[in-house]
Structure 1
Amino acid sequence: MNIIEFLGLTRVESLAGVIVFFGLLFGISRLPKKKFTFAARVLIGTGIGTVYGLIVWGLSGRAGVYAADLGRWFSLVGNGYVSLFQLLIAPSIFVAGVRLVIHTPLVKTETPLIKWKKWVNTLMLAVSALIGACLGLCFKVGAAPGADTAVFSWEIGEGQKITDSIAHLIPSGIGFDFLTGNVVGIFVFAVLIGIAARRMSGKYMDTVKPFLDVTDAAFSVITSVCKAVIAYKPMGAAAVMASFTAAYGPAFLLMLVKMLAVLCAASLIMLAVQLVLCAVSGVSPTAFFRAGKAAMKKALVTRSGSACLPDAQEALTAGLGLKKEITDEVSAYAISSGMQGCGAMFPAMAAVFAAGLSGLTMTPALVFGLVMVIVLVSYGITGVPGTATMAEFGAVMGSGITGAVNGLGPMIAVDPIGDVPRTLINVTGCMTNAIIVERRVRE
């Protein structure tokens, strides 16, 4: 056995391609951070990986020898990076879930504000996720252009009933749930732990205090780990795009463009739903846009919902004359635990894309389970960095379609572009939630 075979290659020329590939990754890692923003570095990595993948695809010809040789190394790095998110999602949801509960103010009876805030937030997440999933299925995102691929079927096979989907989400052992990626079961267990700790804190604070401190410390650590993994996104994006473009060629770029176009269409539909609900609550679309113009413009530029929150809250109070105490609480809650763009619509469409890319056929029960998982995961990743990325991995793993996880790699590559419409929906969504709740509580 020679060195070429040991490296999984069939030609000496392929070794040069591997060396160039790692040289490109090293070059991307050395991009000056002061000169290029993080989003710019991710897009540069995406562009470099795409160009290199297309060159390999073009040189391979019909035999596809170079694509097969180099594809192993592209996939090793790309899928390896994707696996890091798969590794992080379960512990992140567990720690964040416990922390969410123990830091929620303890009240004996829920006020109308708390009830409406939770219900509106949950229902809006479900609507947004359903729009993302349905539009993705309608336009067959993830399916190869021109391919007559079935991405959805009304036929209900064995183990695909609604009861089966719900049963899959029920916790059956924390160790087993961690192994199988049952993020909903993990979140439910985390909530139970949090409730127990919060109850005991009333009478046995001295006993529970170390657990509360450990939870906060664990959350800080897991947050730091997430940030460290996200920091390698430019290199991961390059490897992922090189892998897929070397395998599919220019057709894969058309798939991504279609995905982003459908995401924009879904954002417009969700915005229309929000405007209708605001109109029903007494705020016309004209007044909504006039008051929220600054927040929406900032959302398109900064791509950060948290950065736009003060402007959105100012629009609700000064622009629309709503009660500050209510709108501030509801909008802050929605921008942290109820991002309708990053936490619901985008993960749903990303899951459909990954399923289509992997050749999986969605069913009604699977779509229902996907929406349910996304809603719960949105609460489970509160405060965790990289909301959209963590949410899409949680959606795929929680829905039981773990075979499609690697199909989420391209979503990492186009994340800065998809962040624009989904952040806009985050901001308009937090304003919509606040308007609805304020009207209901005032009545």
Structure 2
Amino acid sequence: MLESNFFTKFLQLSDIRTVGFILLLVALFKVINVLQKKKVSFSTRMITGTLIGLVLGVIVQGVAKFPENPGDIAWINELSGWYSFVGGGFIDLLKMLVVPLIFLSIIRVIMNMQGDNLGKLTTRTIGTLIGLTSVAALIGIALGVLFNLGQGFDVINNTAEIRESVSLAETIRGLLPSNIVSAMAEGNIVGVVIFSAFVGTSIRRLSKKYAETIEPFVKWVEASYKIIISVTMTIIKLMPYAVIALLANTIISNGIGVLASVGKFIVCLYLAVLIMLVVHMTIAMINGISPVAYIKNASEPLILAFTSRSSLGTLPVTIETLQNKFNVNEGVASFVASLGSNMGMNGCAGIYPALTTIMLAQITNTPIDISFCMMLLVIIAISSFGIAGLPGTATIAISVVISGMGMESYFPLLGAVIAVDPIIDMGRTMLNVSGTITSAISVDRGLKRDEAKENKSVKKAV
């Protein structure tokens, strides 16, 4: 009876182990709920949820006897589907907020902005994001060479396919919102930012002559922003529950044995992530935030990014953290975080393309000299524009970089690395979000220092 389509296809409950681990997940949710009722801090609940998810995933793998291909086991596929419903559903709720949150916050900050800060904000944001990505790429290149990535690498049965790459001009033009409704539906956040910037700028321009006419729209923006922030906070409270299912599902779906074939690459990537996190903490320290305070305050978006593998899905949490934990100006937080989820991503567009390209070069005995490294660095910096912050788009980033280096024919050799992409993507995405947080802090503090200098100059002049 349990083998009928009703149980196997519709309910996905054809095995007692599936039911058992679903009930266990519900029981673990009760643990988080008890901690919440006891007023345990949100950060502690997040860390607890992460550890529980890790242990749960390993237990499921143990019951399945650590299969080499978890996807071949029916009850694991069923369990993964249910866990994905919980974790993926939470990410969907966060993504639901992204477009209205960015649309309203960008309009709001521009219409309330004074002086020429908008130009400074845009220039510094892009410069900081691309600069940090270049540093990440340098670290990736150095570690790739140091670890001799690619030497002795098994390239048998790799069937990866290269993604189509486009020119820089086409990439930038693709970000322009020819249809704002389509841009919103497709999650083109840069396009939404551009449209919102035009709306906000127009409000500022019209505010003197047509203040009474546009006042209803201004009030609507302010009211809508308050409402969307309230909705955001309601959904964020569910995050400790979601990370259990997200992390457990990642381990369940990919298994532990699959890590062995590309263990060297994974170790190298996570080492690069750690080094880059030190760079981020150093920049934060220069701006008056200690490393301990940085990790403590940034823990919530970093944990969510690690478990969800979505920079864009983490965006509402990132903005909330920047404003409430790092005292970043509301407008700066929204603007930098929005652009940071689509360009200049340290992990997906910096470290990862650098490591994979160096690995391909060593697999194919391509000389790695100064000119090769410089060309790679330039291509990575340019191609880091417009990489959407969603799971899987790092593959597009390496496609663009490899094509730019004239190595597109070697892309199938990366099959083993792409096979464990979810494991790699966890660290990459966490670094993306950390880079965005660091960029926002740096830009915010820089603008505040400039404002203080201007005020000081005005006082002297008076």
Q: Determine if contact 1:102/1:195 at 8 Å carries over to the other structure.
A: yes
**Counterpart of 1:244?**
250
Q: Distance in 1 between matches of 2:30 and 2:353?
A: 32
Relative to structure 1, is the Cα distance of residues 302 and 46 closer, same or farther in structure 2, using a 3 angstrom cutoff?
Answer: closer
**Counterpart of 1:267?**
277
Q: Distance in 1 between matches of 2:75 and 2:102?
A: 40
Q: Distance in 2 between matches of 1:119 and 1:430?
A: 13
**Counterpart of 1:4?**
7
How far 1:371 moved relative to its partner? 3.5
Q: Distance in 1 between matches of 2:109 and 2:423?
A: 27
**Counterpart of 1:164?**
170
**Counterpart of 2:368?**
none
Q: Determine if contact 1:299/1:423 at 8 Å carries over to the other structure.
A: no
Q: Distance in 1 between matches of 2:106 and 2:26?
A: 38
Q: Structure 1 counterpart of 2:62, which letter?
A: G
**Counterpart of 2:64?**
60
Q: Distance in 2 between matches of 1:167 and 1:342?
A: 18
**Counterpart of 1:93?**
102
Relative to structure 1, is the Cα distance of residues 366 and 11 closer, same or farther in structure 2, using a 3 angstrom cutoff?
Answer: farther
Instruction: State the TM-score, normalized to the length of structure 2.
Output: 0.62
Instruction: State the TM-score, normalized to the length of structure 1.
Output: 0.64
Q: Distance in 2 between matches of 1:364 and 1:439?
A: 35
How far 1:238 moved relative to its partner? 0.5
Q: Distance in 1 between matches of 2:36 and 2:163?
A: 53
Unaligned runs of 5+ residues in structure 1 are: 141-145, 276-287, 311-329, 375-390
How far 1:85 moved relative to its partner? 2.2
How far 1:10 moved relative to its partner? 2.9
**Counterpart of 2:216?**
210
How far 1:341 moved relative to its partner? 13
Structure 1 residues 42-441: aligned runs within 5 Å: 42-61=46-65, 62=67, 64-105=73-114, 107=115, 110=116, 118-132=122-136, 159-250=165-256, 261-269=271-279, 295=290, 298-303=293-298, 337-338=335-336, 347-349=345-347, 371-373=384-386, 392=389, 411=426, 427=441
Q: Cα deviations across residues 385-443 of structure 1 (Å, max 9, x unaligned)?
A: xxxxxx9459969x999xxxx9699859996x99889867765665567779999999x
CA-based RMSD: 5.2
Q: Determine if contact 2:49/2:244 at 8 Å carries over to the other structure.
A: yes
**Counterpart of 1:384?**
none
Q: How many residues align?
A: 369
2:23 to 19, 23, 40: 19
Relative to structure 1, is the Cα distance of residues 31 and 158 closer, same or farther in structure 2, using a 3 angstrom cutoff?
Answer: closer
Q: Determine if contact 1:348/1:370 at 8 Å carries over to the other structure.
A: no
Q: Cα deviations across residues 360-396 of structure 1 (Å, max 9, x unaligned)?
A: x9x999956764348xxxxxxxxxxxxxxxx945996
Q: Determine if contact 2:177/2:191 at 8 Å carries over to the other structure.
A: yes
Q: Distance in 2 between matches of 1:332 and 1:94?
A: 14
Q: Structure 2 counterpart of 1:52, which letter?
A: L
Unaligned runs of 5+ residues in structure 2 are: 145-152, 299-320, 355-359, 361-375, 399-420, 458-462
Percent of aligned positions that are identical = 21
Q: Distance in 2 between matches of 1:128 and 1:2?
A: 51
Q: Structure 1 counterpart of 2:202, which letter?
A: A
How far 1:209 moved relative to its partner? 0.7
Q: Distance in 1 between matches of 2:267 and 2:44?
A: 18
Relative to structure 1, is the Cα distance of residues 271 and 242 closer, same or farther in structure 2, using a 3 angstrom cutoff?
Answer: closer
Relative to structure 1, is the Cα distance of residues 414 and 259 closer, same or farther in structure 2, using a 3 angstrom cutoff?
Answer: same
Q: Determine if contact 1:84/1:229 at 8 Å carries over to the other structure.
A: yes
Q: Cα deviations across residues 258-307 of structure 1 (Å, max 9, x unaligned)?
A: 765433312344677x69xxxxxxxxxxxx96xx6775554344446667
Structure 1 residues 29-44: aligned runs within 5 Å: 29-32=33-36, 34-44=38-48
Q: Distance in 1 between matches of 2:434 and 2:177?
A: 36
Q: Structure 2 counterpart of 1:231, which letter?
A: K
Q: Determine if contact 2:105/2:225 at 8 Å carries over to the other structure.
A: yes
Relative to structure 1, is the Cα distance of residues 429 and 42 closer, same or farther in structure 2, using a 3 angstrom cutoff?
Answer: same
Q: Give the match's secondary structure for 1:191.
A: helix
Q: Determine if contact 1:75/1:240 at 8 Å carries over to the other structure.
A: yes
Q: Cα deviations across residues 39-93 of structure 1 (Å, max 9, x unaligned)?
A: 1111111111221111111212346343222111111212212222222212221
Shifted more, 155-164 versus 87-96: the winner is 155-164
